Structure 1
């Protein structure tokens, strides 16, 4: 199995972070504008409107943390937590397909979850304080 150099790890981490941040940021419009699909999702979960607004705010912060190398590990931790919650909500309450989206929201949540796991792995060495 090939060994990744620090440069390759950094580039891969950047790509995965940018993708994850873009996914998180593109959903903010729907959460903050009160789009019907978003309202339906959070109403089904019983946390509308505060859950929708609170989740959007946390997603905005996490996306920002992912964009900067110094805070990327913390952003990936936050993204991991958010996406575990999203995947669990889909499996337990919402279903894979929501409003005939073909499973897009679920697929994006799983993809961002996997990206955050990979980022955590790639950034692990840099997250430790020097000894």
Structure 2
């Protein structure tokens, strides 16, 4: 197998992880209040339910985008943004790194998912640039 093929397969494995991670936690976000969103709501003043459902919606969109070949790098960028938010909230709010006192599982998964998303972006950077140039007219270089 070529290096390109190995990286492509690894990017698909990372994309599957991202989709799994987001979709697995939807069962908690969609069925009712959670400790995480309760604490963040108390701290920020943002109502818990809209906050929780907004995050769930963003995660579902990212999960779908990362599984579609054409939009995979865009979905990975979106996942990086979502996970950056999660990491920041864990580090800089009363939520803390280990809110469930389970060895910081959520925080570790957020960090790992961020790394997987960054890997997909790196492997698919050419596709991401092509997607960007189809949406945004990029200036051409003079010959």
Structure 1 partner of 2:7: 9
In structure 2, what is the Cα distance between the partners aligned to 1:13 and 1:66? 10
CA contact (8 A) 2:15 2:120 kept: yes
Unaligned runs of 5+ in 2: 134-139
TM-score (norm 2): 0.81
Across the aligned residues of Structure 1 and Structure 2, the Cα RMSD in angstroms comes to 1.9
In structure 2, what is the Cα distance between the partners aligned to 1:60 and 1:77? 14
Mapping 1:2-81, distance limit 5 Å: 5-46=3-44, 47=46, 48-81=48-81
Q: CA deviation at 1:128?
A: 2.5
Unaligned runs of 5+ in 1: none
Structure 2 partner of 1:118: 119
Q: Which aligned segments of 4 or more residues in structure 1 are displaced greater than 4 angstroms?
A: none
In structure 1, what is the Cα distance between the partners aligned to 2:42 and 2:87? 15
Q: How many residues align?
A: 128
In structure 2, what is the Cα distance between the partners aligned to 1:79 and 1:114? 10
In structure 1, what is the Cα distance between the partners aligned to 2:39 and 2:21? 17
Greater shift in the superposed pair: 41-50 or 100-109: 41-50
Bigger CA radius of gyration: 2
Q: CA deviation at 1:5?
A: 2.5
Structure 2 partner of 1:101: 102
Greater shift in the superposed pair: 28-37 or 54-63: 28-37
